[in-house]
Structure formats: structure tokens, C-alpha cells
Amino acid sequence: MRQFSLTNHKGDRLTILEHGASMQSWSVAVGPERRELILGYANPQQYQQDNSYLGAVVGPYANRIGNGNLQLAGQHYQLQLNEGKHHLHGGANGLHRQQWQLQQQTSSSVQLRCILPDGHSGYPGPTAFSVLYQLNADSSLDVTLSASATQLTLAGPTLHPYFNLSGKAEPINQHQLWLNAEQYTPTDSDKIPTGQLLAVAETALDFRHCKTIGTVQLDHNLAVTADMQQNAAILTSPDQQLRLLVRSDYPGLQVYTGDYLAAPFSPRQGICLEPQFYPDAPNHSQFPLRLTSPEQPFSAHILYQLEHG
């Protein structure tokens, strides 16, 4: 399994795998020590058995689609049901299970490509996906996700790294979190949105003021400010030495506190901050969504900005 190493002049290091275009490692210097920021398997072959989407690009469409039901221009498509009676993260063999092909590479960037055939996991296609990772001199990671298709289809991939800014194998409970979100999309018992947008005020999802995560269990989509000039989220390490700022042009952000992580990791050892369209958006006309067609290729932008305390 090929690995691609990116570096900048500050000594930040990012390792990307061709399997799932996955982020395996992201480390930075904090004082005299080198600190690992994301969870990763030491042996790249372990990613082939991973069920936590560890560091991967997920899709074609991130998150859940109720009953695998997809309607496009009057045509019904049945997506693969890989989470009970629902579709999750592109199916069992979504982008996270694919071997991506190298397109171009420099010392600080890599672009990978993957083509899914027509009917893969039920999606119309073929669709060509691309991800460009750019590690900048200011310790930001700039990611562009793209897709082009020969017919009308659904694309909305995202990144699935688990962050732990302490660099230690401990829960993320003592991290501090701020979210630029006034509303969230409530779900039923299967985590499928009801179609409502409710206020975060007076709920466990209210992180409009920075606070310690504690023991609250999060696996929710927040309606964030979709603007590359404004932070959607800020995560701060327990020792205040590192801050991670998340920006995206996606309208939603899934916040997941890793409560179902399994060995060799432990529950809550990492937190996911996943920019995305809202879950099940194709089945809720009031939810923001951009379809992909030959005339309108897909593109999304995610920026992770690191700041040292």
C-alpha cells in the first residue's frame, strides 16, 4: 500500500494512503516534542479491515440516506443498505474502500483520483472523484474534493479523521469545542433526520460559547455557517497548546465524539468534525443540496487551520 508524505518548512508532516485516500498521520512540533493529531493504524494493512472510516475520504455521499432511497429527476435509485435498513457513507465499498490513483505530487501536496462505475453501491455513474491535499506553510491543511459524472448523480464526500490534539491515548473529554451553529437536524432512533431544524439552545449541542466537551455523546449534524471566511468549529487541546480551526463551504458539520471506536483504540479517543451536506438531504427538499451532472461538476473545500498556543 503506497504512502505519500507531505511536509512544510515548519516540520509539519502529513501521511496519506492510497487506500481510501486516508489521512494516516498528521504530526507537528509542539515545543521540544512531536505531537500526533489524528488516530491512525501503525500498519497500513489494518485499514483494509477498518470499520470506523479512520481518516478516510467517505462517500460518494457522506452520512446517512434513509432506506437507501434516492430520487433523481423522477428516476428511483436503490442505494446499498449497509447500516440496517439505511445507507451510510457510500456503502460497504464506498470511497473509503477504494485504491486511489496518484495524479500529481509535490513535497507539500498530493492529488489522488478514483473512478466508481455506473451502479456502484446503487449510484448512477460512472463518477470520477478527486481529492487534493495541500499542506501550507502556515500549518493549514487545504483540501479540495471534486467529482465529475457523465449523468445526473449525487456526490457529497467528506473527510473522516479522528482528532486528538493532546497527542495521548486518552479521551477527548478535556478538549474544548466551539461550534458556529444555531441549529441542528434532529433525527429518529435510526439517526435519520426528521426534516426539522431545531435550535441548539438549551440542548447538549449548544457549543456557541467555547466549553469543555466533557462526557456528552455527540453524533449530530449541525447547521453551520457555510463560509470559507468563517470558522465552522474550533477544537482546543487540553493544555491550550494547539487549536484546530475548521472551515468549509458545506452547509453542515457532523460532530462525532468517537463513542464506538474499537481496539486498538478506545471509545472517545478521537473526535470527528465532518463538513457535509445534511444527512438524507436528497429526501428533504428543504435541506440544501447540490446535485452533480455533466454540466455541473461537484467541488467542495475544507480547511483545517492549526494554531499554536
**Cα–Cα distance, 19 to 95 (Å, whole number):** 9
Nearest to 88 by CA among 170, 164, 156: 156
Q: Whole domain around residue 52: which residue ranges?
A: 3-308
The DSSP result for 114-172, as a single string, is EEEPTTGGG--S-EEEEEEEEE-TTSEEEEEEEEEESS-B--B-EE---B-TT-SSS-G
Indicate if the alpha-carbon torsion angle 247, 252, 257, 259 is positive or negative: negative
Q: What digits encode the pLDDT tens for the residues 127-154? A: 999 999 999 999 999 999 999 999 999 9
Strand partners, 149: 127
Per-residue pLDDT, 138: 97
Q: What digits encode the pLDDT tens for the residues 241-265? A: 999 999 999 999 999 999 999 999 9
Q: Tell me the pTM.
A: 0.98
Q: How many independent structural domains does the chain possess? A: 1
CATH code of 185's domain: 2.70.98.10
Per-residue pLDDT, 100: 98
Catalytically active residues, by annotation: 160, 274
**DSSP secondary structure code for residue 47 in this structure:** G
**Cα–Cα distance, 176 to 215 (Å, whole number):** 12
